[in-house]
Amino acid sequence: MKSILYRIYGREKGDKAFVRLSAVLDAFSFESSSGEKDLFSEADTILITYGDSLLKNSERPLRTLHRFASDHFQDVFSGIHILPFFPYSSDDGFSVEDFHTVRPELGSWEDIQAVGHGFKLMVDLVANHVSAESRWFQGYLADEKGFRYLAIEVDPTADLSGVIRPRALPLLTAYEKRSGQRVHLWTTFSADQIDLNYQSLDVLENMVRTLLFYVSRSARIIRLDAIAYLWKQIGTPCIHLPQTHDLVRLFRRILDLKAPGVTLVTETNVPHAENISYFGNGADEAQMVYNFSLPPLLLYSLATGSARIFSDWARNLTTPTERTTFFNFTASHDGIGVRPLEGIVASSQIAWLADRILANGGQVSERRNPDGSNSPYELNITYLDALKDPASPEDPMHIPRFLASQAVPLAIAGVPGVYIHSIVGSQNWTEGVRLTGRARTINRARLSVEAVGKELADRRSLRARIFYPYLKMIRIRTRQPAFHPAAGMRILNLDDRVFAVKRFCPKQTLVAMTNFSADTLTVTLPAEKETDFVCDLISGKRFGGVSIPLAAYQTAWLISDSSIH
């Protein structure tokens, strides 16, 4: 830990940081855990949800969530990621006013911990910024001790043209301190989100204390939000800087020392090579990294009906060690980032995909490029509606196409993450966008749990036709050793329209296939042991040879009778 601090701050300041952090570590004591060998298994699938995505009159939303999850997801999801549940001023929770408090209208820490008793609890450490309405920032404006260097003050004439921007918004925001001094502060994401100055040991100490506080409140997975931008240095792109990686290493080392059973996952919506750099050497940074290329590439591939580019990309999905893995997801509270498509598909194809999203009722958010131009950054739409065929208003293949998209993250190596609005089959919440004026609101609907229950009770409804097949796939997955995140993975070339992956471990071998097209196909498995694969775990059908029929957008998980679990 001390050597990391020396690299970030130099020896003298690093020694001061070490003394301060040692006192913070001594203040927390946790029960011994099983360690890294038990971090992941085939039984792991994480539900992603806001604390108030499901609502019931006169009931705290966190209790509604817990009850719904207990009723429907006990044998489905191993963990639940409750998106920021703290008091906030904007960005649906990510402009945090108080890192240590649960919003009273949601519930309490007791409600959060109740979820953590039945599921692995995943909590956000919003490490990059704090709300302009926060007590911390007000302390900065008043020049209070402990907060005097909280924010990053920048000369507005400085050349910031090389800074990588995730938004088409001004990088600096002017504020007036209580003394009357006017300052220009670094605000990467919005004027309400004040970037934290990690050159300040006060900031470092407060965020380490926050990290351990979450662990003390039952968090078992810590998501490092927007971590790539953590350290700023004028004259650089201010993204993925060595100090940022060292801060991730510091958080990891602290957890290794105090709570080795806690997983660190980095959220970096950037091209793939940059994204996976947060694995570090496989033992010193994140154990899990968001697989950000997966959502847009899968969407593009299903829209084109071809699995070729997707298969080529998946062939190179590797992690440094068996103790690191991907967090595989298709949808989240944010939109579908398209920067991770850079270098995989042409910019003209990204533009084509953006046009398709607009035709399906979505929106396209842009970012500012260093040359001053704008380009697509994020597709704002539910994943379900993103997969509609805009040329076919009725689109009988809509649900099969969507379920095909959800089957792929369950089959490839990693831990699947499932957004609440995907599993309950939500469509675009355009009324929400009208009310808030924010594009991301389109897939952040708050649903009446009673209304959802009535729709799920009608097996003909859109929600039911997605919910129950989806649950079935996850339940099957949790029983297959070959789907362990560390199990082997080999991509098979069977047909350009089919994504096929062989998963294998000493206990089991399995071939997972998904038809990315509207065509009815017959796929021939290669000769070898695959000739023993006679059972499709999803449909229950048995096959006597190597020729396997696939309907439009069908998924089959093929296995020999002797390997069924």
Residue 452 has a pLDDT of 98
Please report which confidence band the pLDDT of residue 319 belongs to, taking 50, 70 and 90 as the band edges. very high
Residue 532 has a pLDDT of 57
Q: Clarify whether residues 100 and 84 are in a common domain.
A: yes
Q: Where are the alpha helices (DSSP H) in 199-307?
A: 201-216, 242-258, 272-275, 294-304
Q: Clarify whether residues 374 and 439 are in a common domain.
A: yes
Residue 530 has a pLDDT of 46
Residue 5 has a pLDDT of 98
**Whether residue 34 has pLDDT greater than 60:** no
Closest CA to 115 of 160, 167, 79, 151: 79
Q: Clarify whether residues 320 and 420 are in a common domain.
A: yes
Residues labelled as active-site residues: 225
Q: Clarify whether residues 368 and 493 are in a common domain.
A: no
Largest CA distance in the chain: 82
Residue 168 has a pLDDT of 76
- Does some domain include residue 230? yes
Please report which confidence band the pLDDT of residue 562 belongs to, taking 50, 70 and 90 as the band edges. low
- Does some domain include residue 145? no
Q: Clarify whether residues 369 and 494 are in a common domain.
A: no
Residue 560 has a pLDDT of 79
Of 451, 482, 513, the one marking the end of a domain is: 482
- Does some domain include residue 511? yes
Residue 411 has a pLDDT of 98
- Does some domain include residue 176? no
SS3 534: coil
Helix (H) or strand (E) holding 21, with range, is helix 11-26
**Whether residue 174 has pLDDT greater than 70:** yes
As a whole number, mean pLDDT of residues 174-185 equals 98
As a whole number, mean pLDDT of residues 419-426 equals 98
Of 458, 482, 506, the one marking the end of a domain is: 482
Average pLDDT, the chain: 95
- Segments forming the whole domain that contains residue 86: 8-132+195-482
Tens of pLDDT along 134-165?
A: 999 999 999 999 999 999 999 999 999 999 98
C-alpha–C-alpha distance, residues 468 and 66, integer Å: 19
Closest CA to 230 of 257, 263, 203: 203
Residues of the chain with pLDDT > 90, as a percent, come to 90
**Whether residue 346 has pLDDT greater than 70:** yes
C-alpha–C-alpha distance, residues 100 and 211, integer Å: 10
Please report which confidence band the pLDDT of residue 534 belongs to, taking 50, 70 and 90 as the band edges. confident
Sequence-ordered strand ranges (E) for 346-481: 363-368, 374-380, 415-419, 447-448
C-alpha–C-alpha distance, residues 278 and 250, integer Å: 13
Residue 565 has a pLDDT of 52
As a whole number, mean pLDDT of residues 517-523 equals 96
Cβ atoms of 469 and 424 closer than 8 Å: no
Q: Clarify whether residues 452 and 501 are in a common domain.
A: no
Of 452, 482, 512, the one marking the end of a domain is: 482
- Does some domain include residue 269? yes
Tens of pLDDT along 203-232?
A: 999 999 999 999 999 999 999 999 999 999
- Does some domain include residue 153? no
CATH number for the domain including 523? 2.60.40.1180
Q: Clarify whether residues 376 and 515 are in a common domain.
A: no
Q: Clarify whether residues 22 and 112 are in a common domain.
A: yes
Q: And the tokens for 229?
A: 């931008």
Cβ count near 564 (within 10 Å): 12
- Does some domain include residue 180? no
Total structural domains within the chain:
2
Picking from 21-35, 353-367, 392-406, which range would have the lowest pLDDT averaged per residue?
21-35
**Whether residue 338 has pLDDT greater than 80:** yes
Q: Clarify whether residues 72 and 12 are in a common domain.
A: yes
C-alpha–C-alpha distance, residues 482 and 492, integer Å: 16
Residue 83 has a pLDDT of 98
Please report which confidence band the pLDDT of residue 193 belongs to, taking 50, 70 and 90 as the band edges. very high
Q: Clarify whether residues 260 and 114 are in a common domain.
A: yes
Q: Record the pTM.
A: 0.95
Residue 527 has a pLDDT of 65
Residue 35 has a pLDDT of 47
DSSP 520: -
- What's the alpha-carbon Rg for the chain, to the nearest Å? 24
Closest CA to 385 of 449, 440, 332, 429: 429
Q: And the tokens for 306?
A: 């071809």
As a whole number, mean pLDDT of residues 62-73 equals 98
Q: And the tokens for 326?
A: 């991907």
Closest CA to 172 of 189, 149, 148, 150: 189
Residue 226 has a pLDDT of 94
Residue 36 has a pLDDT of 46
As a whole number, mean pLDDT of residues 81-110 equals 97
Q: Clarify whether residues 293 and 356 are in a common domain.
A: yes
**Whether residue 281 has pLDDT greater than 60:** yes
Which amino acid type is present at position 515?
N
Picking from 74-88, 108-122, 495-509, 523-537, which range would have the lowest pLDDT averaged per residue?
523-537
Sequence-ordered strand ranges (E) for 381-478: 415-419, 447-448
CATH number for the domain including 332? 3.20.20.80
**Whether residue 533 has pLDDT greater than 70:** no
Q: Clarify whether residues 100 and 20 are in a common domain.
A: yes
- Does some domain include residue 537? yes
Tens of pLDDT along 51-66?
A: 999 999 999 999 999 9
